[in-house]
């Protein structure tokens, strides 16, 4: 465990309206420089930079500027951070705005070939019970997190925010919720931390390429650890990683063979078939539900030449009469 070096306890606010970007680039000047121990409240737009709203339709997806994707708030610098150090990020709080969206786009996602010409959109509303409503008696308990939390890479130039990197970025790890602590390796002076792409809920895999995308205020506290060698991100959770969804068990599909990617595709296809058959969903809705609530898992990768991949859908999201 790292020893926290708390030197300060100031609280700052940073809005995407004034300080945003959608490329990782170590030449971007920090919007704010803080001390180790300081807290920042980030106002984050949803991932399309406001192009999708709670009133959007499929036509919005078709007309969207993909070049604006991943509207990040930041960057901030941590005073004294240098390459070879580690920045610790305590995830303190999320404040959502009561809505989010999930979409399917042509040629994107794990099953891009299956939904090659498909646009689909679902606008979610969060109820007072802390659940996002879908349809047919299906509700998802929200577990907010940020899809993107990352530092600037050492390589010069502007880098796409789509792929995750050694310094974090678009990791889409659903366990980076309130109470989790994330550790990122520093590659440039100040670290240059940015955040965005907030999600109300997501399954492991984010298989249709979107989660429940949403605008949020995100409160994070930063600590600098000098000369702590770390090659890639690490994190510590404060409790179980399935605490809101494992109370009633799961529907599970499996696929067995020699290629993990194709196995993942097959396991998701089987789950889509199950959801269509059992809950009378169309394929598009079933695919989006897999992305926001279901988890891909590697069950076995040691018994060559075949591995086992499963896809788990929590039964608790469905009304009791259906499960």
Annotation: CATH topology of 11-236: Jelly Rolls (2.60.120)
Tens digit of pLDDT for each residue in 204-229? 999 999 999 999 999 999 999 997 88
| Distance (Å) of CA 272 to CA 101, 136, 209 | 20, 15, 15
Q: What is the dihedral of CA 289, 243, 296, 274, to 10 degrees?
A: -50
CA 282 to chain centre: 25
- Compute the distance between CA of residue 276 and CA of residue 269 in angstroms, rounded to an integer: 11
pLDDT (tens, 9 = 90+) of the chain, 323 residues, equals 333 444 568 999 998 888 889 999 999 999 999 999 999 999 999 989 899 999 999 999 999 998 888 889 999 999 999 999 999 999 999 999 999 999 999 999 999 999 999 999 999 999 999 999 998 799 999 999 999 999 999 999 999 999 999 999 999 999 999 999 999 999 999 999 999 999 999 999 999 999 999 999 999 999 999 978 899 999 999 988 876 677 889 999 999 999 999 999 999 999 999 999 999 999 999 999 999 999 999 999 999 999 999 999 999 999 865 65
What CATH superfamily is the domain 250-322? Acetamidase/Formamidase-like domains (3.10.28.20)
Q: 167 Cβ partners below 8 Å, 6+ apart?
A: 24, 150, 151, 152, 153, 184, 185, 186, 187, 233
What is the model's pTM? 0.93
- Compute the distance between CA of residue 240 and CA of residue 255 in angstroms, rounded to an integer: 26
pLDDT of 5: 46
> What stretch(es) of the chain map to CATH 3.10.28.20?
250-322
CA 70 to chain centre: 11
Q: 202 Cβ partners below 8 Å, 6+ apart?
A: 145, 147, 172, 174, 211, 212, 291, 292
- 73 three-class SS: strand
Helices 283-293, 260-279: inter-axial angle, 10-degree rounding? 120
pLDDT of 8: 63
> What stretch(es) of the chain map to CATH 2.60.120.580?
11-236
pLDDT of 229: 83
């Amino acid at each position: 465990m790292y020893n926290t070096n708390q030197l300060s306890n100031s609280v700052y606010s940073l809005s995407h309206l004034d300080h945003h970007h959608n490329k990782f680039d170590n030449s971007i000047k920090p919007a704010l420089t803080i001390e180790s121990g300081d807290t920042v409240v980030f106002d984050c737009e949803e991932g399309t930079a406001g192009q999708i709203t709670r009133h959007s339709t499929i036509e919005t997806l078709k007309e969207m500027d993909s070049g604006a994707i991943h509207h990040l708030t930041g960057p901030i610098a941590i005073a004294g951070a240098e390459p070879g150090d580690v920045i610790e990020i305590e995830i303190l709080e999320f404040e959502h705005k009561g809505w989010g969206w999930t979409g399917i786009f042509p040629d994107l996602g794990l099953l891009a070939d299956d939904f090659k010409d498909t646009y689909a959109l679902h606008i979610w509303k969060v109820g007072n019970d802390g659940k996002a409503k879908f349809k047919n008696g299906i509700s998802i308990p929200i577990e907010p997190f940020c899809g993107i939390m990352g530092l600037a890479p050492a390589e010069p130039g502007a880098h796409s925010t789509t792929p995750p990197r050694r310094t974090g970025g678009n990791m889409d790890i659903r366990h980076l919720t309130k109470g989790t602590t994330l550790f990122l390796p520093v590659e440039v002076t100040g670290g240059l931390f940015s955040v965005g792409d907030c999600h109300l809920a997501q399954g492991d895999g984010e298989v249709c390429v979107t989660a429940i995308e949403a605008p949020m205020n995100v409160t994070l506290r930063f600590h600098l650890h000098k000369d702590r060698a770390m090659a890639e991100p690490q994190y510590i959770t404060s409790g179980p990683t399935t605490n809101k969804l494992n109370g009633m068990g799961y529907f599970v599909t499996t696929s067995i063979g020699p290629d993990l990617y194709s196995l993942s595709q097959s396991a998701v296809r089987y789950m889509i078939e199950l959801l269509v058959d059992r809950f009378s969903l169309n394929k598009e809705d079933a695919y989006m539900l897999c992305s926001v609530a279901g988890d891909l898992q590697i069950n076995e990768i040691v018994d060559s030449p075949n591995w086992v991949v499963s896809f788990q859908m929590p039964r608790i999201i469905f009304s009791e009469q259906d499960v």
